[in-house]
Amino acid sequence: MSTDNSTAGNAPKTTNFIHQIIEDDLNSSNPPAKIVTRFPPEPNGYLHIGHAKSICLNFGTAEKYNGVCNLRFDDTNPEKESQEYIDAIKKDISWLGFEWHEEVKYTSSYFQQLYLWAVHLIEQGNAYICDLDSEQARTYRGDFTTPGKNSPYRDRSVTENLALFARMKDGEFAEGSCSLRAKIDMKSSNMNLRDPMLYRILNVDHHQTGDKWCIYPIYDFAHGQSDALEGITHSICTLEFEGHRPLYEWFIENLPVPATPRQYEFSRLEINYTVTSKRKLKQLVDEKMVSGWDDPRMPTISGMRRRGFTAAAIRRFCEMVGVTRSNGVVDVGMLESAVRDDLEQNARRAMCVVDPLKVTISNFAEDNTQMLSLAVHPKLPMGDRELPFSRNLWIEKQDFSEDTSLGRKKFKRLVIGDYVRLRGAYVIKADSVIKDDSGEVVEILASLVPDTVGANPPAEFKPRGVIHWVSADHAVPCELHIYDRLFTDAAPDKHKEKSFLELINPDSLRVIERAWAEPSLKNAQVEMGYQFERTGYFVADAQSSAAKLVFNQTLPLRESKAK
């Protein structure tokens, strides 16, 4: 589809500086025919919440201006890449609700063209083969206060460099013995322009190209040229690449590329109580601090999905955070608030008793079961669910107190001699209790008030409040996973004296092996979210089955004041 100059006027109101740049371009004297963006992840790990912001920006921008967004895997480092990561990334993007343009693209598809462009730089006297090892090259490069020195191999002839580069490609040299470097300026104040490496030798098979190549381009060389080949109009990346932009532009200017994309930088998303370094996330996985990349405590999109965070909530959160050029740390509570708001509006309702106390309804026949109908959602047309009511019930222990002096305003639950409503069922009265040898209450003997299902009782039977319950004769056992933040420190990877691994919260996962759920939950689908009434938001885990129901707590109903 094409985009004419009227697109900017018809687009939604500008929300960030990237969109303002695009609108200025569309309204310029030489507007792009179509806005083309790209999301270029490295397939060396799973995507995390920071990537979600970039996904929303790149794909969302293309949508807003009737353009297209490519998914291109920056696969120039085969030692750390795998098909598993590629598949996971594609799944995450689709789950977030975005579609990439045409087929998935790979930087490796451009290896032949990139090689020819490297040859072009050599022919123009702009690149040379350097025999310095990594330590020597680091010394010659200097630092921010010391200018670099020219490599002793910098003045090799074009003929010699072409011959050596061909031999590199043919696998005649060992890893680390030489590299191809751009010839720019070893005294530049920008370290990225001090004769950066373009190609290095890696005797590693590639997940897309197999053993065809033993030399691989560096990201900085491959990235801009891949953008040019795809006709990217706005190459949007995070602020750490701002210093790389002059190099990006140098390559575009010195190569016969078919297009001239421009790079723009925005602030990356940092959240407290979280680490988003893929290296550190991989360390958590490799050292079995978590169960995997999709562990619900991980900030990966896969982990958040398994925990019950919704795609809509994550997209809303990214919109709330905004797109700026100012780095900062976002409170994780903002993300949790976005998730709660979404689940409050959309999650199905159900009842599950976590810490059961038996209630026997003395005036309800032992062999009787009454089917009650409760709404799946109080406001949305999701239909009803059938709930069996029997003589034997489970309620939460915390919903009963023997202290009859507790006032109704202070304790809106069940006490001896007073009334409470069972959610969607009868009003009941606690008549007496049965205790075990240690004096602990193990059973409440109660009586129901007839004709109070869906109806208000007479004034003398007015209940203190409403509590949830399940039929002990019909409830299904389930396992609950209760999650807390993975780290005890707000900035776990910013300590000089401590490793982030030392700051892992030992109570980040609590397993309740036996809770009791209403029968409708037996058919809960994986990733289906529920509000367990008065308990929290839960989701059926990926490992859940009819034989063993497992639910992950997404979040408590309200934010804990202790946090």
**Chain-centre distance of CA 295, in angstroms?**
11
Q: CA nearest 339: which of 315, 319, 375?
A: 315
**Burial 250-289, CB ≥16 within 10 A → b, else e:** bbbebbebeeebbbbbbbbbebebbbbebeebeebbeeeb
Pairing of strands 536-540, 466-467: unpaired
| C-beta atoms surrounding 188 within 10 Å | 16
Helices (H) and strands (E) in the chain, counts: 13, 29
Set 34, 80, 268, 423: catalytic member: 268
According to DSSP, the residues that pair with 72 across neighbouring strands are: 105
The Cα–Cα gap between 170 and 468 comes to 72
Among 53, 278, 305, 429, the active-site one is 278
Decide: 390 and 472 in contact? Cβ < 8 Å.
Answer: yes
User: Could you give the CA distance from residue 61 to residue 12 in angstroms, rounded to a whole number?
Assistant: 11
Decide: residue 422, CB within 10 A, 0-12 exposed, 13-18 middle, 19+ buried.
Answer: buried
In the residue annotation, 325 being an active-site residue is answered as no
Taken in order 112, 114, 115, 120, the sign of the CA dihedral is: positive
Q: b/e string for 18-33 if b means 16 or more Cβ within 10 A?
A: bbeebbebbeeeebbe
Tally of CB atoms within 10 A around 204: 16
DSSP code per residue over 306-334 = HHT--HHHHHHHHHHH---S---EE-HHH
Among the options 42, 249, 443, 479, which is catalytic? 42
Question: Are 62 and 235 contacting, i.e. CB atoms less than 8 angstroms apart?
Answer: no
Q: Are 268 and 327 a contacting pair, CB within 8 Å?
A: yes
What 3-state DSSP class applies to 123? helix
Give CA–CA dist 133/353, Å, rounded: 65
Sequence letter at residue 448: L
* Known catalytic membership, residue 91: no
Q: Counting Cβ atoms within 10 Å, is residue 512 exposed (0-12), middle (13-18) or buried (19+)?
A: middle
Catalytic residue flag (residue 230): no
Q: Name the residues annotated as catalytic.
A: 42, 268, 278
